[in-house]
Structures are given as C-alpha cells and as structure tokens.
Amino acid sequence: MSAARRFRIAAIPADGVGREVVAAGREVLDALAAGSGGAFAFDWQAFGWGCEYYARTGRMMADDGLTVLKEFDAIYFGAVGWPGVPDHISLWGLRLAICQNFDQWANVRPVRFLPGVRSPLRKADDTELDWVVVRENSEGEYAGLGGRNLSARGPGSEVAIQSALFTEAGCERIMRFAFDLARTRTRPKVSSVTKSNAQQYGMVLWDDVFRRVARDYPDVETESVLVDAMSAKFVLRPEDLSVVVASNLHADILSDLGSALAGSLGLAASANLNPERRFPSMFEPVHGSAPDIAGQGLANPIGAVGSAAMMLDHLGLPEQAARLHAAIEATTAAGILTRDLGGAASTEDVTKALIDALNP
C-alpha cells in the first residue's frame, strides 16, 4: 500500500546494544505506520558503520557518508564504541562527525518518570517529576581543540591541552532554544548550569549571555546554579526543575544522572537537532553500546523507542509521538521490565508489549 507521507530514515545501529535497540525501535515504528491506514510510512536505509566497519576499513564511516546522509529526513542512531577501538576514535569518527558537521547544536534529553518503574529517588513516589536537559551540542568542552605535541619530552613528561570553546553566538542560540522550550511547558522555568566561580572566561561569558537572553523572556522564571550544586539539586529538589540548559560536558553528565534517577540509563531518549533544518537531525538513546550485556537480548529498548517518539515529533507527527509515549507507559505500568529495571523481560518481550499496546 502506498502511504500519503513517506519519511526517508537512515538507520545507523553501530555497535553493541545499539543494534538491538535500533532493531526494536524500527519494529515499533513500522507497526505504528502499519496501523496508520496509509497515512504515513518509513523508507529505511541501514548503514553498517561502526567499530566492525573500522576494523575492516580503518574508517568509522564511508568517506562520502555525510553526503549520503544529508539527503535523509532524519537519522536513527544506536550507540557507538567497542573494546579494541579507542573511544575517542569511535566517537569522533561517527557520532560526533555527524553531530558537528550537521550543526546539530541542540541536544534535547528529557528525564521522564514512568509508571511501574522504581526510582532510587525518594521523592519520585509522590511528586510529578518531569524535566528536560538542553545540551549545547556544537562547542564547549567537546570542541576538539588542543594537542599532545610535546611528546618529545619523553615518556612520563608528556603534556596535553584540551580547551573549551564558548562563543557568544553558540551560547545565545542554545539559551533561546531553552527559553522557547520552557514556554511550551507547564512550568516555564529555565535553570542555567554554570561553573563561573572557577572558570572565569568561558563560563562567565555563558552567564552574561544567559542574563541578556533572559531579559527577552520576562514570563519565564530563571535561575543560575553551579554544576556541583545542580547535581545535588537533581537528587534533592527535582520538583524545582523544568528546563535545564548546560554546556556540552555538564549536560552530558547531568543527563546520565537524570536518567539513572528515573530508573535506568536504558530509559533515556535524546534528539540531536539542527533547528534550522538545513541538515537532518539525529535521534538516539542516551546510553552507549553496553558491551557488558550486548548480544544477550537484555538491552532495554525504551530509550531508543522514546527517541523514535522525538523523531516523530520532529517529522510533524505529534499525535503519533503521543501514542508511542502512551505505549511506553502502558508497558512499564504492566510490569513488563528488562533486567536493568529489576524485571526479567527480554528486549523482544518489551518490543512485543510496546507493539501490542499500540494496537490494543
């Protein structure tokens, strides 16, 4: 049957559990499309890039990979990294190569609490908790600036410099994105994460821009919190958070903390957005390739399926995204949980439950 709207999606499962959760996400999305009565469909193309490809070719992705990917409506990504390939090679060779060259400067990472999932957070039982980490995804501490050029000093005396880059334009666009997002939420509040007490150049610029941008959004509540205090606040006062905007490194760490508080890293979804839509955006679970459980059918697919819901939103299908979220909640509420959440269900069991919940 030919569908009214077709979306071209590039699937890059890459390594480890990335392959299992992307397969699960594709199955769920295809079930959603099959039940849409021909309203929409996905044209998938899978790319076998990652650490195995590197072992064969010496590259993490094809030479013309970015040119090929540019033609897609979106990219659905698994996770990259495998023992035997240094992590900085695999990350920079594939995931960061896509994020940076496609200017996916906003990385959106919601922290959702699900029914039936026990959080280690004491307050999670009696409070509505729901926040979004907005990560600056194009510069900051991951700008790749620095060097190890003094190796001539000999073993034991090497020196490395890793610099962070903060531009006024980079800070401003991510903060405006965070404020615009805050206006769509029940509680319009933006918390900026800083470390300007110790980092007196980049982080002070970050704070200055935050104060300036905030003046354009008088209806949005604001606060500026040091990253160390913010990590405590995630645990002790989570009900006070709505949108949390942070630099590349700070948000990377805080969003893992957030997903652990929600119950497991396996639940956390994320979107790497090019908001101007000059390039395809990329949707991926927050977690890595989990070599410790890969290939055993133990991976929790909910982070990948939640990322698929974010992709549906981005493609202009918000009601379908809501159906996917409802299916996730129905599945966890029914106690169909993988081992990371204390259950005994396999990746396949959860995938099947999600599909059943879509078409009850």
Ligand X SMILES: NC(=O)c1ccc[n+]([C@@H]2O[C@H](COP(=O)([O-])OP(=O)(O)OC[C@H]3O[C@@H](n4cnc5c(N)ncnc54)[C@H](O)[C@@H]3O)[C@@H](O)[C@H]2O)c1
Does position 299 bind ligand X by CB under 6 A? Answer: yes
Does position 50 bind ligand X by CB under 6 A? Answer: no
Segment 84-143, which members bind ligand X (CB under 6 A)? 87, 91, 95
- As a whole number of Å, the end-to-end CA separation of the chain is 22
Minimum CB separation from ligand X for residue 82, in Å?
A: 6
- Candidate ranges 80-88, 142-150, 175-183, 186-194; the one touching ligand X (CB under 6 A): 80-88
Q: If we measure between CA atoms, which residue out of 343, 337, 2 comes closest to residue 354?
A: 337
Does position 25 bind ligand X by CB under 6 A? Answer: no
Q: Of 33, 170, 340, 350, which one interacts with ligand X (CB under 6 A)?
A: 340
Does position 293 bind ligand X by CB under 6 A? Answer: yes
- List helix spans (H) across the chain: 17-34, 51-57, 65-69, 87-90, 96-101, 168-183, 202-214, 227-236, 248-262, 302-314, 318-333, 347-358
Closer residue to ligand X in complex, CB, 300/351: 300
- Candidate ranges 117-125, 128-136, 295-303, 314-322; the one touching ligand X (CB under 6 A): 295-303
Instruction: Report the C-alpha gap between 143 and 149 in whole angstroms.
Output: 18
Does position 192 bind ligand X by CB under 6 A? Answer: no
Does position 80 bind ligand X by CB under 6 A? Answer: yes
Q: Of 182, 241, 243, 290, which one interacts with ligand X (CB under 6 A)?
A: 290
Does position 288 bind ligand X by CB under 6 A? Answer: yes
Does position 281 bind ligand X by CB under 6 A? Answer: no
Does position 17 bind ligand X by CB under 6 A? Answer: yes
Does position 213 bind ligand X by CB under 6 A? Answer: no
Q: Of 65, 93, 266, 306, which one interacts with ligand X (CB under 6 A)?
A: 266
> CB under 8 Å to 248, separation ≥6 — which residues?
135, 136, 137, 138, 139, 140, 141, 142
Instruction: Give me Rg for the CA atoms of the chain.
Output: 20
8 A C-beta contact, residue 8 and residue 71: yes
Does position 303 bind ligand X by CB under 6 A? Answer: yes
- Side-chain-side CA neighbours of residue 64 (13 Å): 3
Minimum CB separation from ligand X for residue 30, in Å?
A: 20
Minimum CB separation from ligand X for residue 150, in Å?
A: 26
Instruction: Report the C-alpha gap between 38 and 351 in whole angstroms.
Output: 22
Q: What secondary structure letter does DSSP report for 214? A: H
Tell me how far CA of residue 328 lies from CA of 2, 30, 112, in angstroms: 28, 16, 11
Closer residue to ligand X in complex, CB, 80/171: 80
Q: Where does residue 276 rank: exposed (0-12), middle (13-18), buried (19+ CB within 10 A)?
A: exposed
Does position 242 bind ligand X by CB under 6 A? Answer: no
Place of tokens 């033609």: 71
Q: Where does residue 286 rank: exposed (0-12), middle (13-18), buried (19+ CB within 10 A)?
A: buried
Give the CB-nearest residue to ligand X. 81
Q: Of 100, 255, 300, 351, which one interacts with ligand X (CB under 6 A)?
A: 300
> Which residues bind to ligand X, rule: CB under 6 A?
17, 21, 79-81, 87, 91, 95, 265-266, 284, 287-293, 299-300, 303, 338, 340
